[in-house]
């Protein structure tokens, strides 16, 4: 997983075909990084305490810590 890019804005883990020159699939930000740690899959953000803490509103894969 460490070779995947993560959006610095929304912490969304990007598809493996995405490069640092592309934009985030979730929010459109171009601030992507390989420097992240932790991984969570949120299936039901409307009932998830973790999603509420991370301010996530869409289901998906997210990094817990992004540098």
Please tell me the predicted confidence (pLDDT) of residue 39: 93
Please tell me the predicted confidence (pLDDT) of residue 19: 82
Please tell me the predicted confidence (pLDDT) of residue 15: 84
Beta strand 36-42 pairing with 32-33: unpaired
Helix, coil or strand: residue 39: strand
The pTM (predicted TM-score) of the whole model is 0.88
Q: What angle do CA 28, 31, 33 make, to 5 degrees?
A: 125
Residues that constitute the known binding site for Zn(2+)? 7, 10, 24, 27
Residues that constitute the known binding site? 7, 10, 24, 27
Give me the domains of the chain, ranges plus CATH numbers: 6-66 (2.20.28.90)
pLDDT, tens digit, for every residue of 2-58? 579 999 999 999 988 888 889 999 999 999 999 999 999 999 999 999 999 999 999
If pLDDT is split at 50, 70 and 90, which confidence band does 65 have? very high
- Rounded Cα gap, residues 56 and 20, in angstroms: 22
- CA-CA-CA-CA torsion for 33, 35, 41, 44, nearest 10 degrees? -60
Q: Chain-centre distance of CA 12, in angstroms?
A: 1
């Amino acid at each position: 997983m460490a070779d995947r890019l993560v959006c610095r804005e929304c912490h969304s883990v990007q598809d493996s075909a995405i490069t640092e020159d592309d934009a985030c699939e979730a929010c459109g930000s171009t601030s992507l990084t390989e420097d992240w740690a932790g991984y969570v899959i949120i299936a039901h953000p409307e009932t998830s305490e973790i999603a509420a803490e991370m301010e996530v509103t869409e289901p998906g894969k997210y990094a817990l810590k992004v540098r």
